[in-house]
Structure 1
Amino acid sequence: MPDSLVQAQFGAHAANYVASAAHAAGESLDHLRAWMAVRRPHRLLDIATGGGHTALALASACPQVLATDLTFPMLLAARSFLHAHGAHATTFALHNAAQLPFSGACFDAVTCRLAAHHFAAPDQFVSESVRCLRTNGCLAVIDNVAPDNLAAASLVNAFEKLRDPSHGRHQTAADWEAMFTANRLQIALNQPYRKALNFADYCTRMSVPAHRRTQLSALLLQAPAAVHSYFNPRTIDGALWFDLREILIIGTLPD
């Protein structure tokens, strides 16, 4: 996905992502926080920090957190959010996830949450992250994942792209595991999750116009069986809800 399109989409909606309940919390984030609390890396890089929620969640376990993003307005919003919540030791940098401006072996942990589906080259993001890891360091990725069925995956990605033109591609859990192992990472955790999203909130975060919302809701409700099972659309108190699937995958770099 072109950097300019990602920057345009997220620069215009930075405040929405800072305020997003779906990004501020979640079972996978809780598990990542607990995992890092045990490991306690000294220096952590949070790539594509977005609203800064992951950086904040891990700041108590990591003395040095560097939060980075491709989009300057998003980085400014994250800095304001983190400082407002007392994370004054966090530092910030602007860069592309596939071209990290750091020397090798300089971080104990690298994280990336709910962003890699926008990356044009996720495999390069993984290799660059590993290049920056110290021995016994870890890479942790939380991201939405596609179903294994190729036709269903294509429809899920088309749905996401209709809502957000900067969407690239949801990988499958197997795709992520393959990228990790191809870069010498030993899989410590590959945990799936199902997360519920309010359809109206999902659309509002990206200022989706009314006609596009109608198209999206029709796609949800009229999807083929495999896609319907993935999204699980339903009405709760008069509001449309649906699910996305995500994983937390953690790999460690051996000696």
Structure 2
Amino acid sequence: MSMLEGNEKVVREEFKKQARGFSNKLLSLNNEELLNWIHNSLNLKKEMKVLDVASGTGILSRSIAPFVNHVNAIDLSQDMIDEGIRQNKRMNITNIDFKIAHAEQLPFDHGTFDLVISRLAFHHLISPSMVLNEMCRVSAVSGSVCVVDMISPENDKLYNLYNRYERLRDPSHTYALKETEYVKMFKENNLDIQDVETIEVPINAERWLTLTCTDDIISGKIRKDIELELETKNVITGLFPFSDNGEIKFKQKWIKILGKS
């Protein structure tokens, strides 16, 4: 089994467990302010054809759909797609088509889409540069390519700590890129960078662990290490946890990077 095939197997297994949890309105995944933050740079128009890469249950697709002509949403997990279809029917959204597909081999012709976007998926990829190259391939001339994802600290020690705890919590996590790595990757794919923004997103630690159905022993270790970090003020997890009215939280840093083909 290749590394890519192994990653695909883990992704399918993990998101089979997670699919229904994505509907939880308390999650940052569903936060309207964060979705609007993404929209602000996209210049959405009614005639646009959009591709949402590694769309999951289609949260971003549904937020974009009212403002464009059509959205194609591709994902590797049938369970995530099934949940997305249920949500589309519930909300009576008819201009989104879901399809199982590999992000590394998008089943579309060159230059098909006015906007190709991916949100909170690149940290599950073995080869993010290959996926970005595919996103560029299916983007129309003067089309837009956008990636939104969590990013790691630039410091290598913090980078390794942060990604270690994300992988403990969710084995389908590969690594969250640094901001500088995203900028380099966009330039290597000959994208004219239009916008780079970052935002700090507070994450409730318990909901973070619940979403991924993390093993009880591993969850216990993560909680213990977070509590120790809060108590000692030493850097242990790379998550930089804090207490907010009795809730344990930490801040993810998200990037939105937009380029033109």
Structure 1 residue 27: Cα displacement: 4.1
Distance in 2 between the 1:168 and 1:251 partners? 24
Contact 2:74 2:100 in 1 (8 A): yes
Q: Which among 109, 125, 138 is matched to residue 144 of structure 2?
A: 138
Identify the residue that residue 112 of structure 1 maps to in structure 2. 118
Identify the residue that residue 159 of structure 1 maps to in structure 2. 165
TM-score with structure 2 setting the length: 0.90
Identify the residue that residue 129 of structure 1 maps to in structure 2. 135
Distance in 2 between the 1:182 and 1:39 partners? 28
Identify the residue that residue 238 of structure 1 maps to in structure 2. 246
Identify the residue that residue 15 of structure 2 maps to in structure 1. 10
Change (3 A) 1:103 1:33: same
Asked if 1:181 is matched to 2:187, the reply is yes
Distance in 2 between the 1:227 and 1:110 partners? 37
Distance in 1 between the 2:63 and 2:45 partners? 14
The 5-angstrom pairing of residues 5-84 of structure 1 reads 5-19=10-24, 21-25=27-31, 27-38=33-44, 42-84=48-90
**Identity within the alignment, %:** 24
Identify the residue that residue 252 of structure 1 maps to in structure 2. 260
Distance in 2 between the 1:217 and 1:7 partners? 26
Contact 1:59 1:65 in 2 (8 A): yes
- Name the amino acid aligned to 1:247: I
Structure 1 residue 230: Cα displacement: 5.9
Distance in 1 between the 2:142 and 2:191 partners? 10
RMSD: 2.0
The 5-angstrom pairing of residues 98-109 of structure 1 reads 98-109=104-115
Change (3 A) 1:144 1:18: same
Asked if 1:198 is matched to 2:204, the reply is yes
Distance in 2 between the 1:107 and 1:246 partners? 25
Contact 2:161 2:238 in 1 (8 A): no
Change (3 A) 1:93 1:45: same
Structure 1 residue 86: Cα displacement: 2.4
Identify the residue that residue 101 of structure 2 maps to in structure 1. 95
Structure 1 residue 48: Cα displacement: 1.0
Structure 1 residue 96: Cα displacement: 1.0
Report the 3-state secondary structure (helix = DSSP H, G, I; strand = E; otherwise coil) of the residue aligned with 1:174.
helix
- Of stretches 181-190 and 228-237 in structure 1, the one that deviates more from structure 2 is 228-237
Give ranges in structure 1 of 5+ residues lacking alignment. Answer: none
Change (3 A) 1:243 1:134: same
- Of stretches 160-169 and 23-32 in structure 1, the one that deviates more from structure 2 is 23-32
Contact 2:151 2:176 in 1 (8 A): yes
Q: Deviations over 1:78-103 (max 9, x none)?
A: 11112222211211111111111111
Q: Deviations over 1:29-86 (max 9, x none)?
A: 2122233345556100001111211001111221110111000111111111122222
Contact 1:156 1:227 in 2 (8 A): no
Change (3 A) 1:159 1:60: same
Contact 2:147 2:257 in 1 (8 A): yes
Contact 2:225 2:237 in 1 (8 A): no
Distance in 2 between the 1:61 and 1:226 partners? 46
